Amino acid sequence: MFRVMLVEDDERLASLIIEYLQAYEFAVDLVSRGDLALAHFQSTSPDMVVLDLMLPGLDGMVVCRQIREISRAPILILTAREDSYDEVSALEQGADDFVSKPVQPRILLARLRALVRRIPGAANVSNAADIDTLQFGALSISRSDRLVHWRQQVVDLSNTEFKLLMVLVESPGKVLSRDDILKKMRGIEFDGLDRSIDNLISRLRRRFDDQNSEKIKTVWGEGYLFSPSAWE
């Protein structure tokens, strides 16, 4: 899991970006004013920054320069401006890449993943299945050791429970039908009668204090969804 500091004053756009990125391998902290960005960066040490240029309190160009003076963390600029001068200026201030508004979430995700690959020692994040240790808030899963930690405590899962959890976390933010889950776990199709997946989901929820089904959501008529932002 990579932490992103998003500096954006447009609440609607910020909400869209946060919801989309947190469905993948990014945790997002929002800062809505330019004059608060540097202090937040220093206190949280994010892996990368997504920065709007037009901000209240302090211009994004200045924020970019301030962060670059103290860190080599990748900085991606969001801009609605069409003047190439702004792009050149921001690159000179230390920005690494640009995404133009209106933002297309898939493009933003691809650009961030490209920036992650520049971080020394960073894992290839193109697919959650390629990562040995998965982190979602207070949930940590080591694939190779088959160890699960929740709020710094080891969770003792059965082999079947661990398999189900892995199926869910490898598709964060995506609805998986019972058929999808059974095919991934056992290589068989759902016959419309088998309730074993429902029972396993209930057991997993009890393991992680998920009485309200916020971490593993039920999408009625469709299946189950692992919510990556609910594991704080």
Query: Tell me: the pLDDT tens digits for 123-169?
Result: 444 444 455 778 888 899 988 788 999 998 999 999 889 999 999 98
CB–CB of 175/216 below 8 Å? no
- Can 2-116 and 157-230 be said to share one CATH topology? no
CATH placement of domain 2-116: 3.40.50.2300
Say how far residue 195 (Cα) sits from the centre of its chain.
31
pLDDT of residue 194: 62
Domain 157-230 bears CATH identifier 3.10.310.70: no
pLDDT tens-digit series, residues 24-73: 878 899 999 999 999 999 999 999 999 999 999 999 999 999 999 999 89
Domain ranges of the chain: 2-116, 157-230
Task: For helices 60-70 and 84-93, give the axis angle rounded to 10 degrees.
Answer: 20
Eight-state DSSP code of residue 49: E
In this prediction, residue 82 carries a pLDDT of: 65
Distance of CA 212 to the CA centre of its chain: 22
Which string of DSSP letters, residue by residue, matches 81-122? ---HHHHHHHHHHT--EEEESSP-HHHHHHHHHHHHTTSTTP
CA–CA distance, 30 with 37 (Å, rounded to integer): 9
Confidence of residue 104 (pLDDT cuts 50, 70, 90): confident
Q: What is the pLDDT of residues 160-197, one digit of tens each?
A: 899 999 999 888 888 899 888 888 877 655 455 567 88
Pairing of strands 48-52, 139-142: unpaired
Q: Distance (Å, rounded) from C-alpha 125 to C-alpha 127?
A: 5
